[in-house]
RNA sequence: GGCGCAUUCGUCUAGCGGCCUAGGACACCGCCCUCUCAAGGCGGAGAUCACGGGUUCGAAUCCCGUAUGCGCUACCA
C-alpha cells in the first residue's frame, strides 16, 4: 500500500500486553482508511511507561494485529524511513522545547508540585477553573538564576495565547472549537527532559509526517493544545478524526479492570478474525449500502470517516457470536479444518503437529454437519468427541431422558439389540442403508424413528446433542458402531453397572 | 464548577424537511421444517425518534433551552 503522496496514518498503542476491542477498532479504522486511500500506515509504540513496556508486550501487539489481518508499512518490527518507531528511542524533544522557549512560546517553570497543588485547591475553593496561575511566566533572567541557585529544577511550560479560539474541522465531529482562555499554560517537558504526552505526540506525528490523526474522543480536548503547538512550531497541522467510545454492556468504557476481554482472548475462545473485524467495523460505522457481511477488502473500499457515528456504542457479545457462527458456516471446508485443528489438539482429541491425511479426511466428512451447529471453534471438540472416544460413564441413567420417557430399560435394551442385528447385516455402510435399517427396526418394534435414534445416539455418543446421527454413524464406521452398541447393551443388562 | 461531545426499539444502526402510521440486523417469543441440537423459512412483540419551545404548509431530520450520559480540566497517556 505504501506510496508517495497518499495520507499517512499511525497506530499508537502502548505495549501493555493487552489489546482491547476499543483500541482494535481505532487501529482498524486507521488501517481501512490508509488502505482505501493509497496511504501509508505506521505502527508507533508509545512505550514511555517503562513499567509496563516490555519486548514481550510489543510482540504481543504485533501478533494480535496480524491475526486480525491488519498490516502496516512502517513499524518497529519492519523498519521504515520515519523511525524511530518506539517513542523511547526518539531524542530531540529537548531541542524542540528549546526552540519554543527561544521564540517566546514556552518558558521555564520552577513551581513545585506542592505549590501547584495549593493553587489548584484555592482556585477550586473560589469556584474558579483550576489552571496554571502563570506565576513563572515572564520571570527575569535574574529571578530564574536565583531559583536555580535554590536548587529548583525547571520544567518547560507552553504559554497559551489569550483571547483567541482554536478550531478545526474534525473528520468525524465536524467543526469543533475551544476558547484558548480556558486552557491555561501546560507543561511540555519535565525537569528530567522527558516530554509530556501532548508534546511528544505532536513531535512524533510531525517527525513521522502523519497527515490524519485517528484516536479516541477523549482526546478531543487535547486537540486545541496540540494545534497550538503545531502553530508555534510552524509545522503543518494534520487532520483529526476522533472516534466515540466503545462501551461494555453496563455502558462503561471497555476496560480490562472491568472485565473487558483482550483480542487474543477472543482468539482463544474460538472466534474468527473475520468476525471480530466485521463486528467492530459495524460498531460506530455503517456502510452506505447497509450490507452486514463485509470482508477487510470490502471495508477498505467502503470506509469513510463521515459515516462514523458520533455517539458511543455498546459492544454486544451476542452479535459477535452470531457473526462468528455465520463465518464458520461460510468459510471453505479446508480452512475450517485448519482453524479447528488447534482446538481439537488442545482438548487432546487429535495429536499435535500437522494433521495426518486420515485425520483430514475424517474431519472433512464430519465438519460439514458440525459447522451448522456451533458459534465458535471452541464448541467443535465436544461435537466430534464421539469419533475419538467411547462414551464414558454410560449407565442406565444415561437413557433416562425426555425423548425416551415412554420406554423402560428392557424395551431400550431390546431395541438396541435389534439395531445391532439389523446394522450387522448391512451390506453397504451408507446413510441410506443405515436409515433404512433403523426404520425397519422402528416399525417392527413400534418405536418412533426419533425415539429409536435417540436411544442409539446415547448408546453411541453418550450425549443427547450430537451431529445428525445417521451421518455420524457413517463416519464412525461399522466396527466402532457395533462395538459401542454391544457395550451399551451390556451397560443396560446389568442394572446399576456403569461401563 | 468550567469547557467539550453526545442522545432513534434491550443492543448495533438506517434516516441527512414530505417516500416514516420510523426501515434493517442481533437478542427475545411463536409457528414451520426436523432423528437430537442447530441452521434455515415464516410471523410477532419491541422506539410517542430524551424532554420543552420555536422555524416551516410540513421535523426524527433545522434553531434555542432543559435534562441525562460521557470525556477533558495532571510534571498520566
pLDDT, residue A238, reads 97
pLDDT surpasses 90 at A404? no
CA of A313 to C1' of B54 (A): 31
CA dihedral A286, A291, A292, A294 (to 10 degrees): -90
A193 and A124 share a domain? Answer: yes
Q: Among residues A203, A221, A243, which one ends one of the domains? A: A243
Q: How far is CA A362 from the centre of its chain?
A: 32
Cα–Cα distance for residue pair A158/A393, rounded to 1 Å: 74
A171 and A280 share a domain? Answer: no
Chain A span 247-286 residues with beta carbon within 7 Å of strand B: 247, 251, 253, 282-286
A239 and A255 share a domain? Answer: no
Chain A span 4-43 residues with beta carbon within 7 Å of strand B: 14
Q: Which domain holds residue A49?
A: 8-79+246-314
Residue A202 lies in a domain: yes
Burial (CB count <10 Å: 0-12, 13-18, 19+), residue A465: exposed
pLDDT in tens, A245-276: 999 999 999 999 898 999 999 999 999 999 99
Residue A203 lies in a domain: yes
pLDDT surpasses 70 at A494? no
A129 is near strand B: CB distance < 7 Å: yes
CA of A291 to C1' of B52 (A): 38
A59 and A199 share a domain? Answer: no
pLDDT in tens, A412-422: 999 999 999 99
CA of A366 to C1' of B38 (A): 15
User: What are φ and ψ of residue A36, in 5° steps?
Assistant: -75, -10
Cα–Cα distance for residue pair A420/A157, rounded to 1 Å: 87
Query: Average pLDDT for residues A346-364, to the nearest whole number?
Result: 96
pLDDT surpasses 80 at A341? yes
Q: What's the ipTM?
A: 0.96
Domain count, chain A: 4
Q: Which of A256, A261, A402, A405 is catalytic?
A: A256
Cα–Cα distance for residue pair A192/A386, rounded to 1 Å: 65
CA of A9 to C1' of B22 (A): 38
A52 is near strand B: CB distance < 7 Å: no
A238 and A100 share a domain? Answer: yes
How many CB atoms within 10 Å of residue A329?
A: 14
Cell output for A110: 520552577
The HSE-up count of residue A455 (CA atoms within 13 Å, CB side) is 30
Query: Average pLDDT for residues A442-458, to the nearest whole number?
Result: 96
CA of A338 to C1' of B73 (A): 52
A204 and A280 share a domain? Answer: no
Cα–Cα distance for residue pair A271/A319, rounded to 1 Å: 12
Q: Which nucleotide is nearest to A450 (CA to C1')?
A: B35
A158 and A195 share a domain? Answer: yes
CATH classification of the domain holding A167: 3.40.50.620
pLDDT, residue A415, reads 95
Q: Among residues A286, A314, A342, which one ends one of the domains? A: A314
CATH classification of the domain holding A430: 1.10.10.350
Residue A43 lies in a domain: yes
Cα–Cα distance for residue pair A61/A84, rounded to 1 Å: 17
Residue A320 lies in a domain: no
Q: Among residues A196, A223, A243, which one ends one of the domains? A: A243
pLDDT, residue A144, reads 93
CA of A91 to C1' of B6 (A): 39
A286 and A416 share a domain? Answer: no
* Terminal-to-terminal C-alpha distance of chain A: 62
Cα–Cα distance for residue pair A120/A130, rounded to 1 Å: 5
Mean pLDDT, chain A, whole residue set: 93
A480 and A411 share a domain? Answer: yes
Q: Which long-range contacts (CB under 8 A, 24 or more apart) does A261-265 make?
A: A261/A20, A261/A21, A262/A18, A262/A19, A262/A20, A262/A64, A263/A19, A263/A20, A263/A21, A263/A24, A263/A64, A263/A67, A263/A68, A264/A19, A264/A60, A264/A63, A264/A64, A264/A67
Residue A323 lies in a domain: no
Residue nearest B16 (alpha carbon to C1'): A307
Q: Which has more confidence, A410 or A379? A: A379
Residue A322 lies in a domain: no
Paired residues of A321 in beta bridges? none
Q: Is A310 helix (H, G, I), strand (E, B) or coil?
A: coil
Query: Average pLDDT for residues A91-96, to the nearest whole number?
Result: 94
A412 and A450 share a domain? Answer: yes
Residue A66 lies in a domain: yes
CA distances from A224 to A99, A163, A208, A448 (A): 20, 14, 20, 75
Cα–Cα distance for residue pair A484/A487, rounded to 1 Å: 5
Residue A130 lies in a domain: yes
- Is A405 catalytic? The answer is no
Chain A span 315-334 residues with beta carbon within 7 Å of strand B: 316, 318-319, 321-322, 325-326, 329
Q: ∠A288-A218-A304 over CA atoms, to 5°? A: 20
pLDDT surpasses 50 at A2? no
A117 and A209 share a domain? Answer: yes
A217 and A140 share a domain? Answer: yes
pLDDT, residue A55, reads 85
Chain A span 63-92 residues with beta carbon within 7 Å of strand B: none
pTM of the model: 0.94
Q: Supply the angle between the helices A431-445 and A409-424 in degrees, to the nearest 10.
A: 140
CATH classification of the domain holding A361: 1.10.8.70
Which positions on chain B have an atom < 7 Å from some protein CB? 1-8, 10-15, 23-27, 35-40, 69-77
Amino acid at each position: 500500500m505504501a506510496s508517495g503522496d497518499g495520507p499517512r496514518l499511525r497506530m499508537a498503542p502502548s505495549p501493555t500486553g493487552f489489546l482491547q476491542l476499543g483500541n482494535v477498532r481505532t487501529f482498524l479504522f486507521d488501517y481501512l482508511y490508509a488502505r482505501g486511500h493509497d496511504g501509508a500506515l505506521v505502527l508507533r509504540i508509545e512505550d514511555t511507561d517503562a513499567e509496563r513496556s516490555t519486548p514481550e508486550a510489543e510482540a504481543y501487539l504485533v501478533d494480535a494485529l496480524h491475526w486480525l489481518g491488519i498490516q502496516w508499512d512502517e513499524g518497529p518490527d519492519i523498519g521504515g524511513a520515519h523511525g524511530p518507531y518506539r517513542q523511547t528511542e526518539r531524542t530531540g524533544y529537548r531541542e524542540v522545547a528549546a526552540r519554543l522557549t527561544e521564540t517566546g512560546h514556552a518558558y521555564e517553570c520552577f513551581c513545585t508540585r506542592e505549590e501547584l497543588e495549593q493553587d489548584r485547591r484555592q482556585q477550586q475553593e473560589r469556584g474558579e477553573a483550576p489552571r496554571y496561575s502563570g506565576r513563572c511566566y515572564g520571570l527575569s533572567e535574574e529571578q530564574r538564576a536565583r531559583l536555580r541557585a535554590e536548587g529548583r529544577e525547571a520544567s518547560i511550560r507552553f504559554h497559551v495565547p489569550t483571547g483567541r479560539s482554536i478550531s478545526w474541522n474534525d473528520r468525524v465531529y465536524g467543526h469543533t472549537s475551544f476558547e484558548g482562555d480556558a486552557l491555561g499554560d501546560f507543561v511540555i517537558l519535565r525537569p528530567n527532559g522527558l516530554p509530556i504526552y501532548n508534546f511528544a505526540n505532536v513531535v512524533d506525528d510531525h517527525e513521522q509526517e502523519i497527515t490524519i490523526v485517528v484516536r479516541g474522543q477523549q482526546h478531543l480536548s487535547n486537540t486545541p493544545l496540540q494545534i497550538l503547538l503545531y502553530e508555534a512550531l510552524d509545522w503543518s497541522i494534520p487532520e483529526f478524526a476522533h472516534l466515540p467510545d466503545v462501551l461494555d454492556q453496563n455502558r462503561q468504557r471497555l476496560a480490562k479492570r472491568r472485565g473487558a476481554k483482550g483480542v487474543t482472548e477472543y482468539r482463544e475462545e474460538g472466534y474468527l478474525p473475520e468476525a471480530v473485524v466485521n463486528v467492530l467495523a459495524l460498531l460506530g460505522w455503517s456502510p452506505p449500502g447497509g450490507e452486514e457481511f463485509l470482508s477487510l477488502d470490502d471495508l477498505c473500499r467502503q470506509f469513510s470517516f463521515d459515516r462514523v457515528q458520533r455517539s458511543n456504542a455498546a459492544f454486544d457479545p451476542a452479535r459477535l457470536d452470531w457473526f462468528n457462527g455465520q463465518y464458520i458456516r461460510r468459510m471453505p471446508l479446508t480452512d475450517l479444518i485448519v482453524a479447528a485443528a488447534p482446538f481439537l489438539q488442545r482438548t487432546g482429541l487429535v495429536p499435535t503437529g500437522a494433521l495426518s491425511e486420515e485425520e483430514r479426511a475424517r474431519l472433512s466428512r464430519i465438519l460439514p454437519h458440525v459447522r451448522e451447529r456451533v458459534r465458535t471453534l471452541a464448541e467443535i471438540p465436544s461435537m466430534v468427541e464421539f469419533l475419538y472416544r467411547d462414551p464414558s460413564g454410560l449407565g442406565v441413567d444415561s437413557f433416562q431422558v425426555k425423548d425416551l420417557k415412554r420406554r423402560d430399560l428392557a424395551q431400550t435394551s431390546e431395541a438396541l439389540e435389534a439395531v445391532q442385528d439389523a446394522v450387522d447385516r448391512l451390506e453397504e455402510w451408507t446413510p441410506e442403508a443405515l436409515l433404512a435399517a433403523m426404520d425397519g427396526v422402528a416399525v417392527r418394534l413400534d418405536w418412533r424413528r426419533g425415539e429409536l435414534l435417540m436411544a442409539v445416539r446415547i448408546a453411541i455418543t453418550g450425549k443427547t446433542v450430537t451431529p445428525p446421527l445417521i451421518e455420524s454413524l457413517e463416519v464412525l464406521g461399522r466396527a466402532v458402531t457395533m462395538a459401542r452398541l454391544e457395550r451399551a447393551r451390556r451397560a443396560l443388562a446389568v442394572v446399576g453397572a456403569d461401563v
